[in-house]
């Protein structure tokens, strides 16, 4: 314990020195005038705070929402390129309860260059605009010997056509979007695609940071291909309807960089997404209350899509709300999102069942449900002063049905608990993420404080504390790991240009 | 739906708007976009389509004096006015506007009718009225009404201040008093020199509550 503390401090000091140098570097390199900003800011000539609440990305102000809904077309055409990068550091509370700590917590306590993105973003014509992100993950995959490999792939993409019919009597914004992520089109930050704390780096030591904790989202995930039509009427009612399909053939650029086996495969193009929201502004306040949902027919990852028995289905329905108080120098935001999901497992997944046994080591466990229901709640409160100093508190609670099919830890044929797949069928699990109960319940709190020395750089410190993980507070993997062992300190420096 | 239909829809999206559409454009660098279109498509996002902004972060422009309005937009465009909100929001918006467009925007907003505000700090209104009408002689502060008009309606480059958001008034008084960021309003530096925070809040509460004067 003592040694670990010393190591912790050493690593932290290094991280702080590194982070500080980077901030100084960024501050020194970038001019302080309003001329040199990321793509959208160059297009409108405005500062980040015009569109982002308190300068806090990606949350939008009422004006930022109008900028997005009118298809990113306000302003004048400019070079539509931006880049961003993240340097991060994470420290997990307990790394000892692991079969292979160097693999499970590689880069723990080590500062690293985590991810970088390139954006093509901006106005194309008076009615067409683009927001397209491609991300390089420096730690995308890990080979057998534990070495990480970097990888670049398509991230969020939104190509829009929008028009606005406005006069003294009515204001109708309407448009169409070709995009790769359900709800990426949404202008409110409590939508599934946007509520997440960013950034979210991927090394194994970062697997318990908030960005990996439960968020209300759609079972289908992203990197799909979809079209949606939307309308915002009198700044009061927002409605959107779309449908998604696999991002292959002509749409493969929307899942570029993801190999075919890992690409999410949807059945046909009848995978509808819908969104309805009511919005109101008064004085410095604004409020949105909304609902959204999706039905997605998804093939099990990496399986043969000509076999209908590999097809499962996700039905999502959620409600969300966002309140903002924006009056210089204060920014207050409260967000609430709740998503209910019903997952119908594929026939083959049910037939394959679980590789584990009952405690007798003889009787194989069989799936208890053909479908599972889960409920995820997120609540977040944040405050920013002078668009420079900010903090937030976030609560997450995931509950759901118990199903042996969801176990990733259990008894082997010797009656011993293992997190490895006892049948060797290829299910990969490690002890630290093992789930003995087959229940998804995970609950915790995340605290964040951040500082934005200049408008396109942010330094943040985040702490995520779990009171429940994979269905239990204690011994969730059957091998002695407790939820609080996953508590994680996370530091990052984020910069964009 | 088949691939062809998806591709077709994608192409349709690109096809429908290959050319500029000045009747509903949000292009801030096109001299052909009429001022009214610009006001409705862009300015209205923060200032309201009738110049009655909802958020006090943004000034109400309804009924504003044209000469004052033109001077401000030109001040933003030339970077002569550089209070934080000015450069954060307005430098970019104004950077490519033509003189003609600025004139048209001034006329558009001058024609709008100011709407009454929700009341704020009503207990301060009478103190604010006193300052507006008589100034604070003991602090050498002249009456606002002398330049801004008995009804706060403004006069040429002296802005209309009646019915303005209280928070916006306070912020501008502080900018005048504590900075050099609005050189065009240098005369206000002297006037606001000895105003206390209490004075500012009182006069802002009164202006916020002023009845709409006839044009």
Q: Is there a single domain that holds both residue B133 and residue B203?
A: yes
The reply to whether residue A245 touches residue B6, judged by beta carbons under 8 angstroms, is yes
Residue B18 lies in a domain: no
Interval A152-175: pLDDT, tens: 999 999 999 999 999 999 999 999
Interval B136-169: pLDDT, tens: 999 999 999 999 999 999 999 999 999 999 999 9
Q: Is there a single domain that holds both residue B146 and residue B90?
A: no
Of A34, A126, A328, which is closest to B87 when you measure between CB atoms?
A34
Rounded to 10°, the helix B197-209/B166-178 angle is: 140
Q: Is the pLDDT of residue A428 over 90?
A: no
Q: How far apart, in Å, are the Cα atoms of A43 and each of A176, B26, B28?
A: 21, 12, 9
A 10 A CB-CB count for A27 gives: 13
Of the candidates A69, A51, A86, the one whose C-alpha atom is nearest the C-alpha of residue A331 is: A51
The reply to whether residue B55 touches residue A77, judged by beta carbons under 8 angstroms, is no
Q: Is there a single domain that holds both residue B91 and residue B157?
A: no
DSSP state of B153: -
Residue B176 lies in a domain: yes
Q: For B173-189, what is the mean pLDDT?
A: 95
Interval A38-79: pLDDT, tens: 789 989 999 999 999 998 889 999 999 999 999 999 999 999
Instruction: Quote the domain boundaries for residue B56.
Output: 31-110
Write down which residue in B110, B135, B162 finishes a domain. B110
User: Across all residues in chain A, what is the average pLDDT?
Assistant: 89
Q: Is the pLDDT of residue B175 over 60?
A: yes
The domain that contains B157 carries what CATH number? 1.10.760.10
Q: Is there a single domain that holds both residue B132 and residue B99?
A: no
Half-sphere exposure of residue A154: CA atoms within 13 angstroms, side-chain side: 23
The reply to whether residue A284 touches residue B56, judged by beta carbons under 8 angstroms, is yes
Q: Is there a single domain that holds both residue B173 and residue B196?
A: yes
Q: Is the pLDDT of residue A3 over 70?
A: no
A127, A171, A250, A253, best to mutate vs chain B, most B CBs in 10 Å? A127
Residue B51 lies in a domain: yes
Q: Is there a single domain that holds both residue B52 and residue B85?
A: yes
Q: Contacts of residue A34 in chain B, CB cutoff 8 Å?
A: 87-88, 91-92
The reply to whether residue A171 touches residue B49, judged by beta carbons under 8 angstroms, is yes
Interval A73-107: pLDDT, tens: 999 999 999 999 999 999 999 999 887 888 889 89
The reply to whether residue A76 touches residue B29, judged by beta carbons under 8 angstroms, is yes
Q: Is the pLDDT of residue A375 over 50?
A: yes
Q: Is there a single domain that holds both residue B84 and residue B36?
A: yes
Q: For A18-45, what is the mean pLDDT?
A: 53
For A46, residues 6+ apart whose C-beta sits below 8 A from its C-beta are A34, B88, B89, B91, B92, B93
Q: Is there a single domain that holds both residue B144 and residue B100?
A: no
Residue B165 lies in a domain: yes
The reply to whether residue A327 touches residue B57, judged by beta carbons under 8 angstroms, is yes
Complex-level ipTM: 0.91
Q: Which of A196-205, A253-262, A486-495, B101-110 has the weakest average pLDDT?
A: A196-205
Handedness of CA A430, A432, A438, A439 (dihedral sign): negative
Interval A468-482: pLDDT, tens: 999 999 999 998 999
Q: Is there a single domain that holds both residue B51 and residue B87?
A: yes
Distance between CA A28 and CA A23 in Å, rounded?
Answer: 8
pLDDT interval class at A367 (50, 70, 90): confident
Residue B24: its pLDDT value, please?
93
Q: Is there a single domain that holds both residue B136 and residue B200?
A: yes
Residue B82 lies in a domain: yes
Q: Is there a single domain that holds both residue B39 and residue B85?
A: yes
For residue B26, give the 3-state DSSP assignment.
coil
Domain total for chain B? 2
pLDDT interval class at A35 (50, 70, 90): very low
Residue B9: its pLDDT value, please?
57
| Closest chain A CA to residue B117 | A283
Q: Is there a single domain that holds both residue B200 and residue B128?
A: yes
For B93, residues 6+ apart whose C-beta sits below 8 A from its C-beta are A44, A45, A46, B28, B42, B43, B76
Q: Is the pLDDT of residue B2 over 80?
A: no
Residue B180: its pLDDT value, please?
95
Write down which residue in B110, B134, B169 finishes a domain. B110
Residue B1 lies in a domain: no
Handedness of CA B96, B98, B101, B102 (dihedral sign): positive
Q: How far is A250 from chain B (nearest CA, A)?
A: 7
Q: For A331-341, what is the mean pLDDT?
A: 98
Q: How far apart, in Å, are the Cα atoms of A438 and each of A175, A483, B201?
A: 43, 15, 60
Residue B14: its pLDDT value, please?
54
Residue B83 lies in a domain: yes
Question: Are the beta carbons of A189 and A335 closer than 8 angstroms?
Answer: yes
Residue A424: its pLDDT value, please?
62
Domains present along chain A, CATH in parentheses:
2-496 (2.40.160)
Q: How far is A180 from chain B (nearest CA, A)?
A: 13
Question: Are the beta carbons of B71 and B184 closer than 8 angstroms?
Answer: yes
Residue B160 lies in a domain: yes
Higher-confidence residue: A264 or B1?
A264
Q: How far is A126 from chain B (nearest CA, A)?
A: 6
| Closest chain B CA to residue A325 | B55
Q: Which of A196-205, A258-267, A373-382, B93-102 has the weakest average pLDDT?
A: A196-205
């Amino acid at each position: 314990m003592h040694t670990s503390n010393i190591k912790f401090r050493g690593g932290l000091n290094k991280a702080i020195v590194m982070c500080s140098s980077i901030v100084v570097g960024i501050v020194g390199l970038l001019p302080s005038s309003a001329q040199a900003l990321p793509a959208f800011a160059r297009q409108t000539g405005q500062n980040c705070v015009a569109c982002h609440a308190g300068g806090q990305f990606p949350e939008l102000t009422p004006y930022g929402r109008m900028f997005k809904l009118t298809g990113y077309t306000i302003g004048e055409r400019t070079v539509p390129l931006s880049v961003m990068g993240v340097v991060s550091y994470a420290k997990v509370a307990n790394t000892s309860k692991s079969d292979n700590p160097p693999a499970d917590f590689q880069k723990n306590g080590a500062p690293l260059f985590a991810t970088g993105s390139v954006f093509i973003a901006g106005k194309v014509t008076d009615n067409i605009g683009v927001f397209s992100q491609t991300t390089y993950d420096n730690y995308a995959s890990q080979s057998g010997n534990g070495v990480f490999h970097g990888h670049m792939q398509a991230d969020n993409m939104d190509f829009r056509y929008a028009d606005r019919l406005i006069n003294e009597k009515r204001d109708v914004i309407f448009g169409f979007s070709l995009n790769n992520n359900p709800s990426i089109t949404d202008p409110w930050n409590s939508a599934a695609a946007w509520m997440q704390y960013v950034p979210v780096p991927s090394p194994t030591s970062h697997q318990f940071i908030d960005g990996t904790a439960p968020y209300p989202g759609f079972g289908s995930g992203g990197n799909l291909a979809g079209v949606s039509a939307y309308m915002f009427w009198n700044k009061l009612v927002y409605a959107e309807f779309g449908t998604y399909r696999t991002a292959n053939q002509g749409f493969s650029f929307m899942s570029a960089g993801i190999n075919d086996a890992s690409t999410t495969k949807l059945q046909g193009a009848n995978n509808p997404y819908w969104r309805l929201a009511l919005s109101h502004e008064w004085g410095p306040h604004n409020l949105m209350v909304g609902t959204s949902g999706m039905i997605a027919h998804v093939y099990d990852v990496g399986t043969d899509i000509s076999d209908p028995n590999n097809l499962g289905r996700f039905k999502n329905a959620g409600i969300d709300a966002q309140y903002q108080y924006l009056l210089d120098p204060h920014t207050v935001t409260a967000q609430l999102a709740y998503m209910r999901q019903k997952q119908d497992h594929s026939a083959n997944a049910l037939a394959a069942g679980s590789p584990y046994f009952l405690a007798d080591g003889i009787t194989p466990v069989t799936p208890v449900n053909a479908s599972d229901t889960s409920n995820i709640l997120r609540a977040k409160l944040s405050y920013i002063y002078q668009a420079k100093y900010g903090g937030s508190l976030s609560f997450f609670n995931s509950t759901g049905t118990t199903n042996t099919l969801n176990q990733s830890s259990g008894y082997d044929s010797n009656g011993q608990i293992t997190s490895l797949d006892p049948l060797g069928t290829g299910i990969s699990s490690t002890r630290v993420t093992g789930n003995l109960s087959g229940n998804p319940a995970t609950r915790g709190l995340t605290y964040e404080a951040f500082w934005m020395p200049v408008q396109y750089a942010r330094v943040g410190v985040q702490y995520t504390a779990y009171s429940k993980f994979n269905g239990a507070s204690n011994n969730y993997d059957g091998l002695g790991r407790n939820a609080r062992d996953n508590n994680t300190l996370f530091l990052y420096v984020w910069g964009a240009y | 739906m088949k691939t062809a239909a998806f591709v077709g829809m994608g192409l349709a999206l690109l096809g429908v708007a290959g050319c500029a559409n000045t009747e509903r454009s949000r292009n801030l660098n096109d001299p052909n976009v009429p001022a009214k279109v610009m006001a409705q498509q862009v300015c209205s996002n923060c200032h309201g389509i009738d110049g009655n902004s909802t958020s006090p972060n943004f000034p109400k422009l309804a009924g504003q004096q044209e000469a004052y309005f033109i001077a401000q937009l030109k001040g933003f465009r030339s970077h002569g006015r550089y209070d934080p909100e000015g450069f954060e929001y307005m430098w970019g918006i104004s950077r490519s506007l033509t003189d003609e467009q600025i004139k048209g925007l001034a006329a558009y907003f001058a024609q709008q009718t100011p709407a009454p505000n929700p009341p704020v700090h009503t207990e301060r209104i009478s103190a604010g009225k006193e300052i507006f009408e008589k100034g604070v002689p003991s602090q050498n502060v002249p009456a606002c009404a002398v330049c801004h008009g008995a009804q706060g309606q403004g006069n040429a480059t002296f802005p209309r201040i009646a019915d303005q958001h209280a928070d916006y008034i306070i912020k501008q008084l502080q900018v005048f008093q504590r900075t050099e960021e609005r050189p065009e309003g240098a005369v206000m530096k002297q006037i606001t020199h000895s105003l206390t925070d209490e004075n500012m809040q009182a006069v802002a509460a009164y202006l916020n509550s002023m009845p709409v004067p006839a044009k």
